[in-house]
Amino acid sequence: MEDGGEISQNLFNLYMYFKRQLLEANIKKDPEIVKHVLKLLKELRDAWDQISATETRSDKKMNIGSKGNFSIEG
């Protein structure tokens, strides 16, 4: 967390929000809350995909080898 600075703190807060929402959805048996969290997670995943694609293009332009792949899946 220390090395990630503001970004890591913001992501942590976002993941805690997701966790609270999913807990509430479970308690209330409300699938709409789950759908909302899923929508937000997909948007976050898409943002990570865009970052990864940008990095890959940048690496190719600079003739840098692949850094490998990463996944946000658990």
pLDDT in tens, 12-71: 999 999 999 999 999 999 999 999 999 999 999 999 999 998 887 776 777 665 556 666
pTM assigned to the model: 0.69
Structural domain including 24 reads 5-61
Tell me whether residue 15 is in a domain.
Answer: yes
Tell me whether residue 54 is in a domain.
Answer: yes
C-alpha pair distances (Å), 64 with each of 29, 52, 67: 49, 14, 8
Tell me whether residue 52 is in a domain.
Answer: yes
Tell me whether residue 74 is in a domain.
Answer: no
Tell me whether residue 72 is in a domain.
Answer: no
Tokens of 18: 């997701």
Tell me whether residue 66 is in a domain.
Answer: no
Number of domains into which the chain is organized: 1
